[in-house]
Amino acid sequence: MTKTSRMSFIKSELPKLRCRVCSQILPAFCKLSDKFPKLTFIYADIDECPETTQHIRYTPTFHFYRDGERVDEMFGTGEERLHDRLWLQS
């Protein structure tokens, strides 16, 4: 993580793709990672990473970090919503 970038880390918790809502947003999440190459995108499966995702109540949940501090979060889907949130935080 670099201190020069305004936002250098995004963490997203998505459950296994058996969730219809999550399977809809995952392709957009991957596509947006190409649109914002200076940001780091991380996917964490709540079933595979219980210690990391133990406080997640809704899926999908997106956490936005800047300089190691969580600065924003988003619940639910919507490629445009996610794009706008990334744009605001970048």
Please give the positions annotated as active site: 19, 22
DSSP state letter for 51? T
Q: What CA–CA distance (Å, rounded) separates 58 from 62? A: 10
> Which residue has tokens 């190409």?
34
Helices and strands, counts by H and E, the chain: 2, 4
